[in-house]
């Protein structure tokens, strides 16, 4: 299991990924917005998204877990 964490404090703008979805390394899981900039959160590994812990308009802080990927 790999936890995908926010790299900065931001607002969650979009969450194009879904639980149960197969993803490739580099796929966009969520898009954060900070200071009018869009910051994509990309999958660090390929696998299946087992959990998404954010939704649009949520606030995240640096280190908050955005999603969990099963890379087995």
Q: In which band, very low, low, confident or very high, does the pLDDT at 72 lie, cut at 50, 70 and 90? A: confident
Q: How confident is the model over 3-30, as pLDDT tens digits? A: 999 999 999 999 999 999 999 999 999 9
pTM to 2 decimal places: 0.91
CATH 2.40.50.100 for domain 2-70, yes or no, is: yes
Half-sphere exposure of 30 (CA within 13 A, CB side): 28
pLDDT digits (tens, 9 = 90+) for 41-66: 999 999 999 999 999 999 999 999 99
Q: Strands 28-34 and 2-5: what pairing?
A: unpaired
């Amino acid at each position: 299991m790999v936890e995908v964490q926010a790299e900065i404090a931001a607002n969650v703008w979009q969450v194009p990924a879904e639980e149960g979805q197969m993803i490739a390394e580099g796929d966009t899981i969520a898009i954060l917005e900070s200071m009018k900039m869009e910051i994509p959160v990309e999958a660090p590994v390929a696998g299946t998204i087992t959990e998404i812990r954010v939704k649009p308009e949520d606030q995240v802080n640096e280190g908050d877990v955005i999603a969990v990927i099963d890379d087995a």
